[in-house]
Amino acid sequence: MNEHLTQQAFARTTKRWPIYMDHHATTPVDSRVLDVAVRMMVEEFGNANGVENTHGEQAAHAVSQAKAFVAKIVSAESDDVHFTSGSTEAIQLAIAHAIALQSRPLRVAMSRVEHKAVIDTILQAERMGLVQKSWISVDDKACLDWSSLEGALSQGVDLVCVMAANNEVGTIYPVQRITRACHDHGAAILVDATQAVGRMAFDVGSEVVDYIALSGHKVYGPKGIGALVAPNFDRSTTYGLQGSHSPTPNVAGIVAMGRACEIMDLEGVQESARLEHLRNHLQQRLVALLPGVVINGDVVNRLPHNLHLSVPGVPNDVILARLRGKLSISTGSACNTGAQEPSHVLQAMGLPDALLESCLRIGLGRSTDLDDVEVAATLIADAVHVVRASFSGADHV
């Protein structure tokens, strides 16, 4: 690597090193979000379930306001927002609710590129005899195979699971069109909007999405808070014991998530335009520096902060080892870290082994600037060149 560039990068600020570009995995808490969270923990700490006193009443009002902010960002009603510990719990509650509404096993169709939180929950329910599943295929860009969806719907389905945007390659899905098709066939729909919220338009027109899963820590809120947005959801109508008692609301987390969604609603369009510009610049730099690099996913219809690429012949784990402490990126979903098998998303897309084993996922964020992009491009390119050289030398030993 250019030594002068390295020294410049280290000298910028200790707070910015290593450079963070793994915003799909999690986002740092926005200082404006932190402020309201601390206030709710220290000053307005009442129990929102105990409205007999002013402290509880204030907390309940704050929760109500947070519901409105969350609802607005997904074009829903405030009463449809049900707070959870995260999108995983929201997904599990939605599926448990759909199961409880049936007197027979729930017929579920899900895309092959859904998050593991969806897939694992469905597979577990299937092992318990509660679900009959079918798969919806995707193409080599992770776009939904419409004929596969229509085929599943025509055979009879109670619930369709399709994410709003893919958490690995960033491909965006036509939620309104899919929702309409599901409802035309009498099926409900579960949309995992964890990665998409605030980063893409979520206007489904006259359609009402049956279940939407959200997570606070993907939108610059804290971990441990999420929401299920569902117009007909009732916690007491779920398979299992989840609804047997109403839990004490995590008021600080709820208000923080509401504030995070409010900021995304106000600033998301401009932020997405800025990140798309930076992402495109980073992509151009890497394509120029790394001959043979392949961009994965739908490059026309993807999340603005997402860049997923493969560098054939260069194992991604070796690249990440060389970048450790300098640049934080990933090979895929944070929920799959440590797994030995290749990404199920990339396998569903039919990517060849050379691309599967060399993929890198880059997620830009609110603090990313042009300087970060320039340094990141150089760091990745230098790491690839060193690894290629070492592999070439090994071949001649």
Kindly state the tokens that stand for 47: 């129990």
Rounded CA-CA distance 195/199 in Å is 8
Point out which residues pair with 81 in neighbouring strands. 229
Burial of 343 (0-12, 13-18, 19+ CB in 10 A): buried
- Alpha-carbon torsion (360, 361, 365, 370), positive or negative: positive
182 is catalytic: no
The residue from 161, 261, 335, 359 that is catalytic is 335
Residue 106 CB neighbours (<10 A): 23
Distances (CA, A) of 316 to 172, 224, 285, 326, 388: 25, 30, 19, 16, 12
Rounded CA-CA distance 236/242 in Å is 8
C-alpha 344: how far from chain center: 15
Point out which residues pair with 134 in neighbouring strands. 109
Q: Which residues are catalytic?
A: 335
